Structure 1
Amino acid sequence: MTSRANTLLGAAFVVAAVVLLSGCGPSTGGEAKPSASSTSAGQTQAANAPSAYDPCKDVPQAVLDSEKLRQTRIVNDDTSAGVKWRGCAYIRSNGYVVSITTTNLTVDTTRSRNFPETAEFTINGRRAISTRQFDGPFIKEACTLNVEMKGGSLDFNLSNPPSNRDTGSIDSCVLARGLAEKVVPSLPASA
C-alpha cells in the first residue's frame, strides 16, 4: 500500500472513530441546552470542552517534530448527547494518525463505560486512562487515552494499523501514552 493510501486510510479511520465514539442521543429540538448534563453513571458533564489549552496551537513544536507529526485538520465535533471535542488531527507519514482534543468527557466518565483493556495511571501528576473503544478487527489498532483536566480531559484518539511501516508493529496504547507523556507537561497547571 502506498504512503498516500495509508494516509487516507488512517484519516478515514480517525473520522470513523469520532463517529463511533460520538454515539447517538436525543436531539434538543432547537431548545436551549442545559449548562451541564448527566452521564449514564449519574456524573455531571460540563457543557463545553475545556478551553484553557488549544491542541491546535499549544502542543509544543518540539513534540510534533520528535513524533514526525503534521497537522491535517481541525476537530470541532459535538454529539446530540452533549459530548464535545475541540482540537486537531495529526498524522505521521508511514505511521499513526491521532486526534488531540479537549473534551468534556472526564476520566471518571470514561472509566464508567467499562471499555475493554482499560488501564489507569498518572501522567505528570494528572490522572489518565487508556481504553480500547472499538469492537472487531480494529480493536488493537486504536487506543483512546484521556488525561484529567478541569471540566473534562485531554483526549488522544490514536489509530495505528499494522500496515504502517514506521509504527505498525507498536501497540497503539503504547504510542498514545508515549505521546501523552510528551504533551501533558505543556498543559497549564490551572487547566
Structure 2
Amino acid sequence: MRQLVFLAISAALALAGCSSSDAGGDQPTGPNGASSTGSLPPDVPSGYRPCDDVPKSVLDSEKLLDKTPDDSDAAGGVKWRGCMWVQTDGYAATIQSTNISVDMVRKKSFRDAHEFTISGRQSISTRQVDDHPEAACTVNAEMKGGSLEINLSNPASNRNTGSLNTCDLARTLAEKVVPTIPANA
C-alpha cells in the first residue's frame, strides 16, 4: 500500500510537471495560457474518454490495474480529464485528454524532448519533473483541440520496471493507446 501511495504522489507530481518549469505560474505557455497559434481551448478534446475508451486489452498487456479517476484544472484554464492506473511493483500511468497542444509542449523546451508520429498523430515525449527526471516522463499525442497526455511515474525502487527507461515505457504505452483514438478526435 505504501508503494501505491508513493506512485500516486509521483504521478501527481508528473502531472503538475507540465507547468513546474514555468517560474511565472501554472500556464503551459505564455501569459493567460495563450500560444503563438491562438489561445487555449476552453475544454479538453472530445471524442475520446480515457477512463472508458482505453481498451481492456491495452491495460491487460501493460498489467495496469486499479483505475482511479484523475481530473484536474490549473491556472490559466488548463484542464486534464482521465484516469490513473498502476502496475503491481511497476509504473503508474495517468492517461488524460488535455487542452494543452503538442505545439505548446514543444514551446516549453522541456528536457529530453523527442518528437515522433503515432498512427499519423504528431507526438512528443518530455521529462517535465525537475526533482526526479529519470522517474517521470510525459507523452503528448495530437488531438483536435489539445492532446492525449500519458504521464508515467517509474521510481527506480519499482521491482518490475524501475530499471527501465521511463520514456521508453511511456512511448510503448502511447503506441498502444493512441491508435485507439477515433480519427475525427
TM-score (norm 2): 0.90
Partner of 1:175: 169
Partners of 2:183 and 2:177 lie apart in 1 by 13
The change in CA–CA distance for 1:160 and 1:153 in structure 2 (over 3 A counts) is same
Any idea what the Cα deviations from partners look like across 1:108-163, whole Å, max 9, x if unmatched? 00000000010000011110000010113x11100010000000000001110111
Partner-residue secondary structure (3-state), 2:7: helix
Q: CA deviation at 1:168?
A: 0.7
Partner-residue secondary structure (3-state), 1:81: helix
Partner of 1:67: 62
Partner of 2:108: 113
Query: Residues 144 and 173 of structure 1 are in contact (CA less than 8 Å); yes or no, is this contact kept in structure 2?
Result: yes
Query: Gapped runs of 5+ residues in structure 1?
Result: 27-36
Partner of 1:16: 13
Task: State how 1:127-146 maps to structure 2 within 5 Å.
Answer: 127-136=122-131, 138-146=132-140
> Which structure is larger by alpha-carbon Rg, 1 or 2?
1
Q: Report the identity percentage.
A: 47
Task: State how 1:44-83 maps to structure 2 within 5 Å.
Answer: 44-83=39-78
Partner-residue secondary structure (3-state), 2:10: helix
Any idea what the Cα deviations from partners look like across 1:46-91, whole Å, max 9, x if unmatched? 1100121000000010000010001432111111211000000110
Partners of 2:183 and 2:26 lie apart in 1 by 34
Q: Which residue among 71, 81, 85 is the counterpart of 1:86? A: 81
Partners of 2:152 and 2:103 lie apart in 1 by 20
Q: Does 1:186 align with 2:180?
A: yes
Query: Residues 71 and 88 of structure 1 are in contact (CA less than 8 Å); yes or no, is this contact kept in structure 2?
Result: no
TM-score (norm 1): 0.87
The change in CA–CA distance for 1:163 and 1:133 in structure 2 (over 3 A counts) is same
Partner of 1:150: 144
The change in CA–CA distance for 1:25 and 1:177 in structure 2 (over 3 A counts) is closer
Partner of 2:160: 166
Partner-residue secondary structure (3-state), 1:129: strand
Counterpart residue identity of residue 161, structure 1: P
Partner-residue secondary structure (3-state), 1:64: helix
Q: How many residues are aligned here?
A: 177
Query: Residues 90 and 158 of structure 2 are in contact (CA less than 8 Å); yes or no, is this contact kept in structure 1?
Result: yes
The change in CA–CA distance for 1:116 and 1:25 in structure 2 (over 3 A counts) is closer
